[in-house]
Structure 1
């Protein structure tokens, strides 16, 4: 058997400590880079999420406006099919009156 001298044992221990510290440092560096990557991706996802929520709100607003417009058009369609609408058009465009109405004209 070959016996190691004290110096050689000490050198081997120092190398082992150094390699252990180096491996630990490399592992910490890799974990730090991984953490930074995750944080960056999370920030990008949050920004994209805010952008998409804004688009959703905008589209929902447009849907609400169009729903209101459709409702208004349905109401107008009912109105133009009514007798009241026909009477208003007859009075305003054609100058017609109902038999029981009296027209007063102002002197100029």
Structure 2
């Protein structure tokens, strides 16, 4: 299983987004606790990198409400990056207004 996750990350950082999406199809079948949310985040992030914002933005917005608090920071970072690129300051303000609900209580990651 770590091999599959490592391949996805490698393809992602090489900008091979179609390969990422193919491997996510396999990865999401694994029955580990973290797979479901990780797959969602990776799928939406891949859409964002492919500039498919019309797909990525609604995905990220829904994930702010449904993912565990520890994973929301990844979603918010990606969403803010898209909105900044698009110059959508109102959407950025909307996300920042939810800061208390988004930030993890005990952050364990550098983000």
Greater RCO between the two (CA within 8 Å, min separation 6)? 2
TM value normalised by structure 1: 0.19
TM value normalised by structure 2: 0.19
> Which one has a larger percent helix, Structure 1 or Structure 2?
1
